[in-house]
Amino acid sequence: MKQLLQSLSNGETEIVNIPYPQVKPKHLLIHSYASLVSAGTERMLVEFGQANLLDKARQQPDKVKMVLDKIKTDGLLPTLDAVQSKLDQPLPMGYSNAGVVVEVGEGVAGFAIGDRIISNGCHAEVVCVPQNLCAKIPDLVTNEAAAFTVIGAIALQGIRLAQPTLGESFVVTGLGLIGLITVQLLRSHGCRVLALDFNPQRLQLAQQFGAQTVNLDQGEDAIAAAQVFSQGQGIDGVLITAATKSNEPIHQAAQMCRKRGRIILVGVVGLELSRADFYEKELTFQVSCSYGPGRYDPNYEQKGQDYPVGFVRWTAQRNFAAILEQLATKTLDVAPLISHRFPFEEAAQAYQLLSSSEPSLGILLEYPHTNTAITAQQKTIQLVQEGRRQEAEGEQKKAWGNESADTETRRHGDAENGNLTSYFVHPEAETIPCIGFIGAGNYATRILIPAFQETPATLKTIATQGGVSGIYAGRKFGFQETTTDTDSLFSDPEINTLVIATRHNSHAELVCQALRAKKHVFVEKPLAITSEQLQQIQSTYQNLDSPPLIMVGFNRRFAPQIQKIRALLPRQTTPKALIMTVNAGTIPAEHWTQDQKIGGGRIIGEACHFIDLLRFLIGYPITNIQTMKLQEATGTSTSCDNVSFSLSFADGSMGTVHYLANGHKSFPKERLEIFWGGKILQLDNFRKLRGYGFSDFKSMNLWRQDKGNQACATAFVEAVITGKSAPIKFEELIEVTQVSLEITDVAGS
């Protein structure tokens, strides 16, 4: 299927063929009929992408500060790599879509296959969208009109915050799509509306919708006009739907308002406020957030947890439904707002129009109403599930037009190959080692995949849920195929090695699936997030006569400075004291890594690295664990982000890890200190290693940080090639994971 992507690096937009997305729980799979280009938001993204690095930095001063802090701690080159990697990742465009449901995810209620619905889906032939960001389209609403729903909900949420009442006077500043819809909705509330803009055509539309207007391009005095319009009382409220860096819209709004008037910012403007403007009139100023309550709440969006109507009357989804009702009753008319229509295949021209001087307003992208690839895809999936593989291959070849023999057209997903690409074997693929990669998130694309790319392994197939990140990784790192069918990697006879880089809750099941398929497996930490998952892995591994290699991405033990420390440490008779200080930094409570059911928390998800590191340096089993958690002044515990735990080892050594999220970003993230026999070793952030009390060693400093990621991947691949044992013993992987779970149990209680 095809999707529109934009490069943040250069601002270019292109239509890319990506694998058919898999439906997720609480989500709907939607075949698009029409989608609306958001002229304001999407133009800003294009202009940001086209800007040079200096201009990008000027537009995001907060990000510049983060970059400078990272340079101080990690060095210049790793920071530049991280910034470039972020800019290289393609950005899906669009968020106002109308289509038909083609597949319903587990746990979805109120929707069925065949329903016409709107969503905040992007510009793509098929989109996967959370159920709470979808709404059914009434029969009286066309697909074109329905595509305006999400944009309309943004306008409606601003109005709800303004709380207009019948007969009040309002000003709308900025007459783009949102502004013109705002005018109509305010009029339907029984309000008198004064509309401000520089564009005469848009002012004429506002007049058509029942507003009086002020042409700012002609130098008309907006404040004086507002005074006359409000009959000398001052405006009751102002909704700012403009996009400008100027502070003037806010100042102007304050000057127009009556005492205790309301100002709602829906657009993006300068925010240098004058205290006098607001103090004397006791004005209320509020910024509106997107479509309404629930937006950006992962529980509402991703998990499908709705807010009770008795407590939150108007959620994002209910705002969608309200806009659709206004469209059905013709109270809201969007037909005059459509300035251009483009077939989806010509979407690049639509974005050229955005950047040109040619007038435009509502730009619609139109998709075919039938899609034989989708129909064939659904039939193929059904055949595969029934075990009828040969028939499935035949159906897929029909959908591809018999292109399956042409491997070059399928490289990087550049054919409409649905989600069954790997059922067809590349005839020239190497056999050992041949890697299937599951997951293409930020860490995978920045660190893990580049590390494996430098090994002798063949990168055959990369599997992702949505397809976009897989296409990016496939193109950049030379994978032969991309897919959204993860199961196909386990059944592919060519793939003998799997790398798992998904969210933590999926690791254990994927590891067990790989072991049962007799494929070597490298899983990014953690190995498991519950004791039950860990026991499942142990049982699966032990029940195999000749189990394949299993490896966890504990890369720090492979870092060159850690290898030097290991060589300097005596192996016997001398107990050691190790202190590991981790300036972990804060992660919002709503982030998935903090969710115990998905990420497992930060001890399991990240601090396991340091448990493994100490276990490696000592070289003896952990015999005892003591855990302390930071207490607030009130005596209540903080989260598991601020924990100290001490480990005792069988040789009498001890190690303490201070894992803290309450420090400052400019301080190095990781510091290791080792004391024994009149000697000290100190490692700062995997860049500077110093020795004290040595006659033959003083320091080992690196130009750039090296946490051992490349060496870790290389060691694993070499073990696969040579048939040697895994670089980390299976028993140690289990031990470190079990210790992480025990610390989490204590810290979380």
The whole-angstrom distance between residue 694's C-alpha and the CA centroid of its chain comes to 48
237 with 88, same domain: the answer is no
Q: Which residues pair with 212 in a beta bridge?
A: 194
Ramachandran angles phi, psi of 122, nearest 5°: -85, -175
Does position 180 have pLDDT exceeding 70, yes or no?
Answer: yes
Same domain (yes/no): 495, 603: no
For the chain, give the number of residues: 749
State whether the Cα torsion 429-433-438-442 is positive or negative: negative
CATH code of residue 622: 3.30.360.10
Percentage above 90 pLDDT, the chain: 69
Q: Are 575 and 676 in contact (CB under 8 A)?
A: yes
CA distance 188 to 206: 14
Task: Determine, yes or no, domain membership for 391.
Answer: no
The pLDDT value given to residue 742:
96
What is this structure's pTM? 0.78
The number of folded domains in the chain is 4
DSSP label of 606? I
d(CA 252, CA 244) in angstroms, rounded, equals 14
**Which secondary structure element, helix H or strand E, spans residue 202, and what is its range?**
helix 200-208
Residue 395 has pLDDT above 60, yes or no: no
CA atoms of 360 and 356, how far apart (whole Å): 9
Spatial distance between the Cα atoms of 654 and 658, rounded to a whole number of angstroms: 13
Residues 119 and 7 in one domain: yes
Q: Which residues pair with 92 in a beta bridge?
A: 5
Confidence of residue 394 (pLDDT cuts 50, 70, 90): low
| Strand (E) or helix (H) holding 632 | none
Average pLDDT over residues 651-664: 94
Mean of per-residue pLDDT scores for the chain: 87
Q: Is the pLDDT of residue 453 over 90?
A: yes
Q: What is the DSSP string of 636-702?
A: -B--TTSEEEEEEETTS-EEEEEEESSS-TTS-SEEEEEEETTEEEEEETTTEEEEES-SS--EEE-
66-124 confidence digits (pLDDT tens): 666 666 666 666 666 666 666 667 788 889 999 999 999 999 999 999 999 999 999 99
Please give the residue that has the higher pLDDT: either 57 or 216: 216
Whether 596 and 727 share a structural domain: yes
Q: Residue 57: pLDDT band by 50, 70, 90 thresholds? A: low
Nearest to 462 by CA among 439, 487, 445, 434: 439
Task: Confirm whether 23 is domain-assigned.
Answer: yes
Distance CA 637, CA 640 (A): 9
Would you place residue 467 in the very low, low, confident or very high pLDDT band (cuts 50, 70, 90)? confident
List the strands of the sheet with 169-173, edge to edge: 212-215, 192-197, 169-173, 235-240, 257-265, 284-287
Task: Sort strands 2-7 and 90-92 into parallel, antiparallel or unpaired.
Answer: antiparallel
CB 396 within 8 A of CB 420: yes
Q: What is the pLDDT of residue 425?
A: 33
Q: 45 vs 573, which has greater pLDDT?
A: 573
Asked if residue 595 has pLDDT above 90, the reply is no
Q: Decide if 380 is inside a domain.
A: no
CATH of the domain at 283: 3.40.50.720
Q: What is the 3-state secondary structure (H, E, C) of 130-174?
A: EHHHEEECCCCCCHHHHCCHHHHHHHHHHHHHHCCCCCCEEEEEC
Poorest-pLDDT segment among 93-97, 165-169, 638-642: 638-642
In a domain, 49, yes or no: yes
Measured CA to CA, the distance from residue 88 to residue 719 in angstroms comes to 32
Q: End of a domain among 252, 287, 322?
A: 287
- Residue-level pLDDT at 47: 61
Given this model, what pLDDT does residue 88 score? 67
Q: Nearest CA to 521 among 535, 510, 534?
A: 510
**Which of the four pLDDT bands, split at 50, 70 and 90, describes residue 619?**
very high
Domain that holds residue 622: 556-747
DSSP 596: T
Q: Tell me, yes or no, whether 723 lies in a domain.
A: yes
Q: Are residues 78 and 135 in the same domain?
A: yes
Predicted confidence band of residue 351 (pLDDT cuts 50, 70, 90): confident
Residue 662: inside a domain: yes
Residue 78 and residue 158 in one domain: no
pLDDT at 419 over 50: no
Residue 114 domain flag:
yes
Work out the end-to-end distance of the chain between its first and last CA atoms, rounded to an integer number of angstroms: 48
Confidence (pLDDT) at 590: 82
Reduce the secondary structure of 529-548 to three states and give it as a string: CCHHHHHHHHHHHHCCCCCC
Domain with residue 328: its CATH number is 3.90.180.10
Examine the domain organization and report whether 349 and 411 are in the same domain: no
Instruction: Assess contact for 38 and 160: CB atoms under 8 A.
Output: no
- Please identify which residue in the block is written with the tokens 């058509």: 208
Which residues neighbour 376 within 8 Å (Cβ) at sequence distance 6 or greater? Answer: 395, 396, 398, 399, 418
Per cent of the chain over pLDDT 70 is: 83
Q: What's the pLDDT at 703?
A: 87
Q: How far apart are CA 178 and CA 164, in angstroms?
A: 17
- pLDDT per residue over 431-448, tens digit each? 479 999 999 998 999 999
In angstroms, the CA 140 to CA 148 distance is 15
Tokens of 713: 């991947």
Residue 458 contacts residue 433 (beta carbons within 8 Å): yes
pLDDT in tens, 280-298: 899 999 999 999 999 999 8
Based on the fold, state whether residues 333 and 455 are members of the same structural domain: no
* Strand pairing class (338-343; 362-366): parallel
What is the pLDDT confidence band of residue 417, given thresholds at 50, 70 and 90? very low
Is residue 125 located within the same domain as residue 163?
Answer: no
- Whether 64 and 205 map to the same domain: the answer is no
- Higher pLDDT: 579 or 20? It is 579
Residue 343 token pair? 């077939």
pLDDT of residue 68: 67
Asked if the structure places residue 409 within a domain, the reply is: yes
- pLDDT(401) > 60: no
Least confident segment among 236-250, 326-340, 389-403: 389-403
Tell me how many degrees the CA angle 572-577-579 measures, rounded to the nearest 5.
140
Choice between 91 and 137, residue whose per-residue pLDDT is larger: 137
Round to whole Å and give the CA distance between 557 and 579: 16
**pLDDT tens digits for range 483-515:** 999 999 999 999 999 999 999 999 999 999 999
**Distance of alpha carbon 533 from alpha carbon 293, whole angstroms:** 36
- 266 plus 307 within the same structural domain: no
CB within 8 Å of 654: residues ≥ 6 apart: 575, 576, 577, 578, 646, 647, 648
Q: Quick check: 155 pLDDT over 90?
A: yes
Q: Are 667 and 73 in contact (CB under 8 A)?
A: yes
Q: Are residues 234 and 324 in the same domain?
A: no
Decide: 298 and 590 in contact? Cβ < 8 Å.
Answer: yes
pLDDT category of residue 638 using cuts at 50, 70 and 90: very low
Exposure of 272 by Cβ count < 10 A (0-12 exposed, 13-18 middle, 19+ buried)? Answer: exposed
